[in-house]
Structure 1
């Protein structure tokens, strides 16, 4: 039986790209999978059969390397976190929240800062550039690749294409940061709908309605995913939030107390590193904020 990759799921259909010919077959899932509690995801490798009406039926889901709930996608291995530098302004606390969820999901991440061409002239623009340079230096020091881009001018796109090649990439970020414009610039011929930022609300409208894998010229795929309106920590524990900060990991086992929260305990290696300037104050403050949010969420439930 033929094998393929689900590149899109829409209205009960799974669109499977055949391994050999590269053509796409519109498939339904077999009822037996529902009985087993199985549900195919975009990114799944599957075995399917052809039916008499020229369509297909997904018979079996092959083992997954990873599976995300939001966005619902299988076998992704790289998160592309897209943030604009203006309208909406770059939010490091939101970026760190995305990074925590990315780390928890076991994905590597690249950070893409967009709309460089929209930075205004004058003192305001100079401050934005300083903020961007500081953010780039901080996250590169943590081991993340950071790309500065302009979809309209083509700035920074070639090195980004090389970084995305041969991966199943998940593109994520808040609404209005230019994800669709970036994808249109990365993939010639792609015409995803884009919306400008609402002047009244200060944010963009969601233009993506479903998850879809888009083929990249250098090999691999990019998943354009519905915009995230919020991320919460309900599914995480204190130790998991801690481990999702890369710079905390080699320090945590040096703390005096097992299960150290890194907020008040004596002989805490993370607190010591923060006091010595070895951990960025913004990262530590965001960690404490996420920990507080986690505690409040736990209290509600």
Structure 2
């Protein structure tokens, strides 16, 4: 058997990169019986049928981590890409992505793309998410701004790209390494949203070291698997204040002398981030009732 990594999965076939070759593989039937689904990013052992040059996945090695959506394994960095305009950024959705990354315990970078379209709003966004404790990178493929910095962030990491359609994820990757030749799409004039250009999750190798996962865009993200008491720990800027509230177990909603609410009033925590927390908490509580 030889070792490799799953770079793509389509229609029950898995494409495994091993050294300088890529093998089309099927998974052993026992994985289905054990309800184990091979994921892009899985490190695997495969056997090769040399007459057909096709392979069989015999073993899936232990995963370091697993994302539910997008369904990938062994990522050690997430880059969440939103445009400053066209489409306008949905900050609630951005905060959902950040909460999911925090829940998985992986490093995360926030990228604001198309900064040539609204430099003033970029300043506001950078202030908000830098204060929340995130590394923020600003890019413009059109003007070539931030591309070199972006390349340095990707180097020697396995990075998952996330964000809604139309924000320029594929264009960014093409600018970072032109021979990736990813499809890019225009913004729908009807609803100002992006048209899907990436149809499946695929692991792409970078010439300068590392891998990236280009994923289909998302317009929604369900976090109802997170428990009510855990949510506050997924907002980085809340962490130093937890325990400073008057009441033990404070949910930072209606309780008096709440350190988090006081920080919002004093503009230490952004109002939009707090509103995202409240919305997510509401959704988690509603889910628990059913």
State the TM-score, normalized to the length of structure 2.
0.94
Corresponding residue to 1:261 among 245, 251, 261: 251
C-alpha distance in structure 1 between counterparts of 2:257 and 2:83, whole Å? 39
**Cα distance, 1:14 vs structure 2:** 1.0
Q: State the SS of the aligned residue for 1:73.
A: coil
Structure 2 match to 1:180: 170
C-alpha distance in structure 2 between counterparts of 1:54 and 1:217, whole Å? 26
Structure 2 match to 1:9: 9
1:242 correspondence with 2:240? no
8 Å contact from structure 1 (residues 233, 297) kept in 2: no
Structure 1 match to 2:94: 95
Deviations along 1:160-218, whole A, 9 cap, x unmatched?
11111111111111111111211211222122222111111111111111110111222
8 Å contact from structure 1 (residues 234, 297) kept in 2: yes
C-alpha distance in structure 2 between counterparts of 1:232 and 1:72, whole Å? 14
Structure 2 match to 1:72: 71
**Cα distance, 1:146 vs structure 2:** 1.2
Structure 1 match to 2:40: 42
Q: State the SS of the aligned residue for 1:204.
A: coil
**Cα distance, 1:34 vs structure 2:** 1.9
**Cα distance, 1:138 vs structure 2:** 2.3
8 Å contact from structure 1 (residues 165, 220) kept in 2: yes
Structure 1 match to 2:24: 26
Correspondence 1:1-301 to 2 at 5 A = 1-18=1-18, 21-51=19-49, 52-117=51-116, 119=117, 128-299=118-289, 301=290
Across the two proteins, how many residue pairs are aligned to each other?
Answer: 289
**Cα distance, 1:62 vs structure 2:** 0.6
**Cα distance, 1:255 vs structure 2:** 2.8
8 Å contact from structure 1 (residues 175, 204) kept in 2: yes
**Cα distance, 1:82 vs structure 2:** 0.7
**Cα distance, 1:225 vs structure 2:** 0.7
**Cα distance, 1:295 vs structure 2:** 2.6
State the TM-score, normalized to the length of structure 1.
0.90
Gap runs ≥5 in structure 1: 120-127
Runs of 4+ displaced beyond 6 Å? none
Gap runs ≥5 in structure 2: none
Deviations along 1:104-157, whole A, 9 cap, x unmatched?
12222111111123x2xxxxxxxx322211211221233312111112332111
